[in-house]
Chains A and B, each alone.
Chain A
Amino acid sequence: MWDKKSRFTMLVEALSPDLYRYAYWLVGDQDIAEDLVQETYMRAWRSLDSLREAGAAKAWLITTLRRENARRFSRKSLERVDVDVDTLEATIGSDDKLEVRALHQALRDLSTDYRDPLLLQVIGGFNIREIAEEMNLSTGAVTTRLFRARQKLRAALDGERDSEVSK
């Protein structure tokens, strides 16, 4: 049986990259994302015994991170930050496809109502019912948001392709 510290280390090594990415797209700032991930793991350490299944760990950490983020807002009543594409650009390789860049912009332009369920689905692996529970919405509302989010991203990508062709 693995002890607590080893379970924790495994959760950090295996899941912190995805958790960081989730946090980044949630708050739009690399430093805040890093802080949030650290706070989330500190909280996770304290309640690690309540995590029974290893397979549920990612969803559990993401839920913890969302609560941690909500706390951050209630503490400081901060304005929600726009995803800062300019600083991100610096860290993206120049070999990146135009498509990826266009999608960055489109993800940034999505309102959080649409981006949030998409992130839970794509990064967190949540299904529609789980997203509904997490966001306190009906499954119908989640379905609509996911559907519109992809529609918007697709339209943005098509627009990008068209503008490339017409150049």
Chain B
Amino acid sequence: MDCLSFRRSILADPGSNDDAIVEHADGCKHCRDFRADIRRLDASIIQAIKIPVPESLPAKILLRQSNRPRRASGWRWAIAIAACCVVAIGIGLRSETAESPAQWLGAVKRYVDRSGISTDPAAQIAHRDLNEILNRIGVHMDESIGTVTAAIPCRIGNRAGAHLVITGDGGPVTVLIMPEADLPQIIEFKTAKSTGVIAPCPRGSIAIVGGATAPINSIKSKVEKAISFI
């Protein structure tokens, strides 16, 4: 292999470990340097390609799948695996880890704006399945919570949480459980499509978000009564 074909091969496949490539690199410092240069270029390309991914994307896909007409109850394993994968998806996400109240507020708004989740109001998450999801983040919900139409593990502010949908009289309300959101006080907010409140709990916080007519406060009290921490 000559220098020209070596460089051509490296530009096409910088990771190549073909014998001819290895052999040439061993004997030619110029080409070795060239290869190091192109591998650095590839590292930069990979960085450039890694655009931020909407945090709500996995939850949306899972919700959409679980809202298909046929009901499945394979959550037990799904949740165990999802928990294992949390670390994996955390890597490479550029979303900021929320710390301050302002960052948490931003994270909730972003999550809600991007999620736009619609659920089948007739769907009903079995209470046991709901708690399997919640137990993973150290939370338990008693039966007084009533009908939950969606429950998905999610990440908000780059931290583990859960996304529930509870359908009240004024339409579906999104409930975000965020055990790591330590906030000093209640925050009320509005986005383009919704109004909401983030309220501190004995551990972390919950966010209740819905349309203009959604019964935010009654759902908030309901969740506060039903929730406990393991």
Taking beta carbons and an 8 Å cutoff, which residues of A are in contact with B? 2-6, 8-10, 12-14, 16-17, 20-21, 24-25, 30, 34, 37-38, 41-42, 45, 88, 91-93, 97, 99-100, 103-104, 107, 118-119, 121-123, 127-128, 142-144, 146-147, 150-151, 153-154, 157
B88 and A41 contacting across the interface, CB-CB below 8 Å: no
Given the complex, which residues of A lie within 8 Å of B11, measured CB to CB?
146-147, 150-151
A20 and B57 contacting across the interface, CB-CB below 8 Å: yes
Given the complex, which residues of B lie within 8 Å of A10, measured CB to CB?
81-82, 85
Interface residues of B in 169-208 (CB under 8 A from A): none
B65 and A100 contacting across the interface, CB-CB below 8 Å: no
A6 and B89 contacting across the interface, CB-CB below 8 Å: no
Given the complex, which residues of A lie within 8 Å of B81, measured CB to CB?
2, 6, 9-10, 13
Given the complex, which residues of B lie within 8 Å of A153, measured CB to CB?
41, 45
Q: Specify the chain B residue showing the minimal Cβ separation from A88.
A: B51
Known interface pairs A6-B77, A16-B57; A121-B13 also in contact (CB < 8 Å): yes
**Inter-chain contact count A-B, CB under 8 Å?**
132
Task: Identify whether the interface residues of A are mostly helix, strand, loop, or mixed.
Answer: helix
B75-94 vs A, CB cutoff 8 Å, 1 = contact: the mask equals: 10111111001101100111
B53 and A25 contacting across the interface, CB-CB below 8 Å: no
Known interface pairs A12-B58, A37-B57; A21-B51 also in contact (CB < 8 Å): yes
A3 and B74 contacting across the interface, CB-CB below 8 Å: yes
Taking beta carbons and an 8 Å cutoff, which residues of B are in contact with A? 8-9, 11-14, 38, 41-42, 44-54, 57-58, 60-62, 64-65, 68, 72, 74-75, 77-82, 85-86, 88-89, 92-94
CA–CA, A10 to B79, complex, Å? 9
Q: Specify the chain B residue showing the minimal Cβ separation from A146.
A: B12
5 A-B residue pairs with Cβ-Cβ distance under 8 Å, sorted by A, are: A4-B74, A10-B81, A24-B51, A123-B49, A150-B45
* Shortest Cβ gap from B164 to chain A (Å): 17
Given the complex, which residues of B lie within 8 Å of A93, measured CB to CB?
94
* Shortest Cβ gap from B16 to chain A (Å): 9
A147 and B12 contacting across the interface, CB-CB below 8 Å: yes
CA–CA, A99 to B49, complex, Å? 12
CA–CA, A122 to B47, complex, Å? 11
CA–CA, A118 to B167, complex, Å? 46
CA–CA, A121 to B94, complex, Å? 22
* Shortest Cβ gap from A131 to chain B (Å): 10
A154 and B57 contacting across the interface, CB-CB below 8 Å: no
